[in-house]
Chain A
């Protein structure tokens, strides 16, 4: 039962800490852009608190899909985090939920909610943004699936906690070329999934005029925003638990170390997302995705030929 407690604990702690790293990223980004930026690292907390004080405004034409969108977004984001085997290991009660397929389906659900909520808002730009979000899945999911398939075939299991354990013990790992190559393509998929520039269509402000979140405001927006930050952490978490799983035995220390590592990844991504314009879906984005897919395919071939 204690594993369930840790499962909930890791979600709560990450929910509380994640905005801090967002704040760090913002300060760093401001420095790179030669502006002052927020006064400290706590700006995202203040933003979310401020948003929660604001009232709701909802388009007349929208339905419950739109209204409950932010809650479900936040909920699925939190669920994604919960199933990451950070503080609990294999064999515990919680680890039965920690499965690659569970994670893939939860993230597909998150994307689905994102899409229908934005289409339901009645804003044509949000609708276009929502449908693009689905298009991204078409490009990213094959890459992600193929990379994970290689890992699952190597480990002979789809349970994330067990895979993590095997990598830790060295049963599978970077000594296998297939695993190493899969880590590269999965890293790309993870970055795209976390929805940051140049792949961020979720908040593609100008081009799609405020993107999918365009019609949300106040607490709704704050919640949806927090949900997206959680998703980013979950995606980083997934990468860490498969490809960089070394950590402490003690669940508290493990959680601390995980947050630190994920935070570093989150903040370091500023060095990518700060520079250059967004990619267009059917031109630059597609060619990128095809390259990444080739890499993941190489990993699969390497597994099949058995080197």
Chain B
């Protein structure tokens, strides 16, 4: 019996499964009728201990005349109690697939049974026009409010990427409907879309009674970059990695790895061990600098600039470490299909080990000082509670969910690369508050240092890259996962013709964390609002990789370098204005 068969048999008892397809050893896809979809997802999610990891709407009209939906469920156990976890050899990914006929693009909403699907189903309507019937919250998620009705950018026939819809005048823009609590004395405190101290745009509405937040709503996706559309049919796999790492400025490497490994798994490439170890090292370095950033910010938003500055001093060493491993202060530009572009010398390894000692010492020192400060700990404790049941319903990831006592860690549940040969603990805290989340981050920092050290010590010899010779089969797809600093990144790639991507779905960690944020706000004071958002370590740019573009006319125009340069210097006569 292969991995996942036991779950599929249980689903079969109640639901007709049309087709079972196995992508890799631990990735299975079952096809069900669209009316059975919610029940199938619910059974896997609640009855058998699954978590919603991704949902991919796909326009397969060129392939089989239908749209398709893929609900990717990570089978790892409900984890509500320590015993409630699947044995390691049973953990796998089960994808529930359903076809939606092109002439009737509707499907019954899964959100009614599994709340975690809410963002995914809202996005499915925006991007593909697939309507989830019964979805409790059918507002727009991704597309801007003035986007034309009935234009769904990720449909294959929707648009040409160079075009954009006519701008709507500022005063004619439709208003976004925020979910408002009713009652007298409720004060609406808007924050954003652009606010002095927010580093990225996001529009928050805090509904307050006096100083206490009774409810909150937020609107994101102000900065779409159309990356998924960009990748389709245009990029080859050598370019994909570079695109994926530009999803984020902090955890870019994690995206590159997830994306490239999704592609590698679909083709079945085995990467050399040395490259695997170095990929793990880079991912952990990224965790180091990202967690240090977040702990620093969690001090800074409470006014503790001193701790922030000292933590950033340590962070500088991790950037130096990244430079030793990849040649650049950021870990960019290193991952390609089949391995890595840069190898390390033994002198560099030795230097890195020394640097790790410094980082560890100073980290412990500063953290102890922060913990000694009762006022600081007091600001973190009991703030932004993520209730355990809310967490179970919304499938959050990363330190956010681990701070609420769930041992969800992609490295542990779905080990990739070199990870299964290393020893590490999953950091878990049970306080559910900001303090627990920051504590999880601190523990993970120490674990990361130990993982990097183990990798350096066990560093396998050999080359770091092989030339992938396998021909890629059109229509094949697979999941790539890794544990980014903010949580699990899940990428999904379906291959197309001519070595190009047919559909790339990039689900960043923060995407799964946003939908439960509303519950974390409730009952806290306005003074803590920024701290609560910060404790998720949200990455706006990660979440906002999609969108853009429209076609109104069929004209096209090639922009020359000269045009762009002139435009960037003068900002006059937009080169696309007359299209």
A34 x B196 contact (CB < 8 A)? no
Stretch at the interface among A144-152, A169-177, A181-189, A275-283: A275-283
A220 to chain B, nearest CB (A): 15
Contacts of A198 in B (CB 8 A): 303, 375
B375 x A279 contact (CB < 8 A)? yes
Contacts of A204 in B (CB 8 A): 303, 527
Contacts of A277 in B (CB 8 A): 299, 302-304, 373, 375-376, 379
Known contacts A34-B309, A279-B375, A281-B527; A206/B303 CB under 8 A:
yes
Known contacts A207-B528, A284-B378; A276/B197 CB under 8 A:
no
Tell me if B472 counts as interface (CB < 8 A to partner A).
no
B80-116 contacts to A, CB under 8 A, are none
Contacts of B422 in A (CB 8 A): none
Q: How far is the CA of A302 from the CA of B525 in the complex (A)?
A: 39
B266-317 contacts to A, CB under 8 A, are 299-306, 309-310, 313
A33 x B191 contact (CB < 8 A)? no
Q: How far is the CA of A54 from the CA of B185 in the complex (A)?
A: 39
A124 x B187 contact (CB < 8 A)? yes
Q: How far is the CA of A33 from the CA of B211 in the complex (A)?
A: 32
Looking at B187, B196, B373, the one whose CB has the most chain A CB atoms below 10 A away is B196
Tell me if A95 counts as interface (CB < 8 A to partner B).
no
Q: How far is the CA of A276 from the CA of B375 in the complex (A)?
A: 7
Known contacts A125-B191, A284-B378; A207/B527 CB under 8 A:
yes
Known contacts A124-B187, A205-B197, A209-B197; A274/B305 CB under 8 A:
yes
B310 x A34 contact (CB < 8 A)? yes
Known contacts A124-B190, A282-B211; A207/B301 CB under 8 A:
yes
A210 x B197 contact (CB < 8 A)? yes
Interface size on A, residues (CB 8 A): 29
Q: How far is the CA of A283 from the CA of B187 in the complex (A)?
A: 22
Contacts of B375 in A (CB 8 A): 198, 276-277, 279, 284
B302 to chain A, nearest CB (A): 4
A189-220 contacts to B, CB under 8 A, are 197-198, 200, 204-210, 214
Q: How far is the CA of A185 from the CA of B563 in the complex (A)?
A: 69
Contacts of B301 in A (CB 8 A): 206-207
Q: How far is the CA of A67 from the CA of B474 in the complex (A)?
A: 66
Known contacts A128-B526, A277-B379, A280-B379; A197/B303 CB under 8 A:
yes
Tell me if B189 counts as interface (CB < 8 A to partner A).
yes
B304 x A208 contact (CB < 8 A)? no
Contacts of B191 in A (CB 8 A): 125, 209
Per-residue A-contact encoding for B180-199, CB less than 8 Å = 1, 0 else:
00000001111100011110
Q: How far is the CA of A197 from the CA of B305 in the complex (A)?
A: 10
Contacts of B195 in A (CB 8 A): 209
B304 x A276 contact (CB < 8 A)? yes
Tell me if B336 counts as interface (CB < 8 A to partner A).
no
Q: How far is the CA of A125 from the CA of B204 in the complex (A)?
A: 12
Contacts of A274 in B (CB 8 A): 305-306
Contacts of B299 in A (CB 8 A): 277
Contacts of B189 in A (CB 8 A): 124-125, 128
Contacts of B310 in A (CB 8 A): 33-34
The 8 Å CB contact of A206, one of B188, B376, B378, B530, is B530
B300 x A206 contact (CB < 8 A)? yes
Contacts of B428 in A (CB 8 A): none
Tell me if B479 counts as interface (CB < 8 A to partner A).
no
A123 to chain B, nearest CB (A): 9
Tell me if B231 counts as interface (CB < 8 A to partner A).
no
The 8 Å CB contact of A207, one of B187, B196, B531, is B531
Per-residue B-contact encoding for A19-43, CB less than 8 Å = 1, 0 else:
0000000000000111100000000
A276 x B309 contact (CB < 8 A)? no
Contacts of B379 in A (CB 8 A): 277-278, 280
Smallest Cβ-Cβ distance to A279: which chain B residue: B375
A32 x B306 contact (CB < 8 A)? yes
Q: How far is the CA of A135 from the CA of B494 in the complex (A)?
A: 59
Per-residue B-contact encoding for A205-244, CB less than 8 Å = 1, 0 else:
1111110001000000000000000000000000000000
B197 to chain A, nearest CB (A): 6
Contacts of A284 in B (CB 8 A): 375, 378
Q: How far is the CA of A32 from the CA of B307 in the complex (A)?
A: 10
Contacts of A206 in B (CB 8 A): 197, 300-303, 530
B418 to chain A, nearest CB (A): 35
Per-residue A-contact encoding for B190-219, CB less than 8 Å = 1, 0 else:
110001111000000000000100000000
Contacts of B526 in A (CB 8 A): 125, 128, 207-208
Q: How far is the CA of A214 from the CA of B197 in the complex (A)?
A: 10
B357-383 contacts to A, CB under 8 A, are 373, 375-376, 378-379
Q: How far is the CA of A283 from the CA of B528 in the complex (A)?
A: 13
B196 x A276 contact (CB < 8 A)? no
Q: How far is the CA of A279 from the CA of B134 in the complex (A)?
A: 46
Q: How far is the CA of A54 from the CA of B284 in the complex (A)?
A: 45
Looking at A35, A207, A284, the one whose CB has the most chain B CB atoms below 10 A away is A207
Known contacts A204-B303, A282-B211; A275/B527 CB under 8 A:
no
Smallest Cβ-Cβ distance to A131: which chain B residue: B211
Q: How far is the CA of A275 from the CA of B308 in the complex (A)?
A: 11
Contacts of A209 in B (CB 8 A): 191, 195-198, 530
Smallest Cβ-Cβ distance to A33: which chain B residue: B309
Per-residue B-contact encoding for A260-281, CB less than 8 Å = 1, 0 else:
0000000000000011111111
A226 to chain B, nearest CB (A): 20
Smallest Cβ-Cβ distance to B301: which chain A residue: A206
Q: How far is the CA of A274 from the CA of B189 in the complex (A)?
A: 30
Contacts of B305 in A (CB 8 A): 33, 274
B313 x A34 contact (CB < 8 A)? yes
Looking at A205, A277, A280, the one whose CB has the most chain B CB atoms below 10 A away is A277
Q: How far is the CA of A275 from the CA of B197 in the complex (A)?
A: 21
Q: How far is the CA of A204 from the CA of B376 in the complex (A)?
A: 15
Q: How far is the CA of A125 from the CA of B379 in the complex (A)?
A: 20
Contacts of B378 in A (CB 8 A): 283-284
A304 to chain B, nearest CB (A): 35
B196 to chain A, nearest CB (A): 5
B303 x A214 contact (CB < 8 A)? no
B304 x A35 contact (CB < 8 A)? no
Q: How far is the CA of A255 from the CA of B92 in the complex (A)?
A: 78
Q: How far is the CA of A281 from the CA of B303 in the complex (A)?
A: 14
A278 x B313 contact (CB < 8 A)? no
B571 to chain A, nearest CB (A): 21
Q: How far is the CA of A207 from the CA of B306 in the complex (A)?
A: 16
The 8 Å CB contact of B302, one of A278, A281, A283, is A278
Contacts of A281 in B (CB 8 A): 211, 527
B508 to chain A, nearest CB (A): 24
Smallest Cβ-Cβ distance to B191: which chain A residue: A209
A282 to chain B, nearest CB (A): 7
Q: How far is the CA of A128 from the CA of B525 in the complex (A)?
A: 11
Q: How far is the CA of A198 from the CA of B378 in the complex (A)?
A: 13
B312 to chain A, nearest CB (A): 8
Q: How far is the CA of A288 from the CA of B509 in the complex (A)?
A: 41
Smallest Cβ-Cβ distance to A278: which chain B residue: B303
Contacts of B309 in A (CB 8 A): 33-35
Q: How far is the CA of A278 from the CA of B195 in the complex (A)?
A: 21
A132 to chain B, nearest CB (A): 8
Known contacts A128-B526, A209-B530, A276-B306; 14 additional CB pairs below 8 A are A33-B309, A124-B187, A124-B190, A198-B303, A204-B527, A207-B301, A207-B529, A208-B526, A208-B527, A210-B196, A210-B197, A275-B373, A276-B376, A277-B299
Instruction: List 19 A-B pairs, Cβ < 8 Å.
Output: A32-B306, A33-B305, A34-B309, A34-B313, A124-B190, A125-B526, A197-B303, A198-B303, A206-B197, A206-B303, A207-B301, A207-B302, A207-B529, A209-B196, A279-B375, A280-B379, A280-B525, A280-B528, A282-B211
